[in-house]
Amino acid sequence: MNEKIANLQVWLNAKGASPKLTVDGVSGPATRRAFFETFRNRSAPAISPQDISLFAARLGVTNTQIAAFASVESSGGGWDDTGLLKCLYERHYGWKRFRILNPFLSNPSPGGYTIDADRDGINDSWEKVADAALTFHEPNKAFECASWGKFQIMGAWALKLGYSSPTEFVWLLSRDETAHYEAFVRFIERFNLTAALRKVDGNPINCLDIACAYNGKGQKGYDARIAAAFRKLS
């Protein structure tokens, strides 16, 4: 029995896996299926305008500044059409954690991005997270290797943002949209990006700092897209 897979099975059962998994520590089809279905949420509650205002006040920014940024990340939504969180698996993160060469799951070079290459209706990034968790027997590390939800925050930041584990971080995001905003605000606070977010307006120059800080210096036009979203929302 693999203890980490057994712990994952216990965790999935506690979160409502149906049917209940046999806790045998084996990475079988039932565990893989439960991995997706337990996180799937087709009726996640949307955040209220009042809660968005509270988050804006917490950061000292405007609702429009948050909304402009949110509309650019993940095209504004936190879930895909199947009820799974939007997710992008980064295989180079897998390489740093697993150090086992695998073209899809653990590779020194980034890339290999696909949506549903096997046409089974499950986002390929979610399948890569599941396969990494069950192949390498490291669920938490697998969740670290992807960006999640409305604001595409890497699971690797979960502990630094105050979550108990990457797995719990993704679980909380899967429950409701308010959790996505909470994670975003924690990220802005933790990495001292409040001043950059406060500059956001309809001018791409004033969106450059937050675009680069959030998406890297090669941010590929995020500054212009945020500015355009701000102008539209204003």
Quick: pLDDT tens for 79-133.
999 999 999 999 999 999 999 999 999 999 999 999 999 999 999 999 999 999 9
pTM, to two decimals: 0.95
Is the model's pLDDT at 62 over the cut of 90? yes
The single-letter DSSP state of residue 79 is: B
**Residue-wise pLDDT tens digits, 147-204:** 999 999 999 999 999 999 999 999 999 999 999 999 999 999 999 999 999 999 999 9
| pLDDT number for residue 75 | 79
* Predicted local confidence at residue 76, as pLDDT: 72
54 band by pLDDT with thresholds 50, 70 and 90: very high
Taking residues 50-61, what's their average pLDDT? Answer: 97
Sign of the dihedral defined by the CA atoms of residues 197, 202, 205, 208, in that order? positive
Dist CA 106 CA 13 (whole Å) = 28
Q: What is the pLDDT of residue 218?
A: 77
What is the share, in percent, of the chain residues with pLDDT greater than 90?
92
* pLDDT for the residue numbered 219: 76
Contacts 24+ apart (CB under 8 A), 48-53: 48/178, 51/178, 51/181, 52/181
Question: Residue 89, SS3?
Answer: strand
Question: What is the predicted pLDDT for the residue at 215?
Answer: 84
Does position 211 have pLDDT exceeding 90, yes or no? yes
Element (H, E) at 148: strand 146-148
Asked whether 141 and 81 are in contact (CB, 8 A), the reply is no
The number of residues in the chain equals 234
Centroid of chain to Cα 197: 20
pLDDT given at position 220:
82
Under DSSP, the state recorded for 156 is G
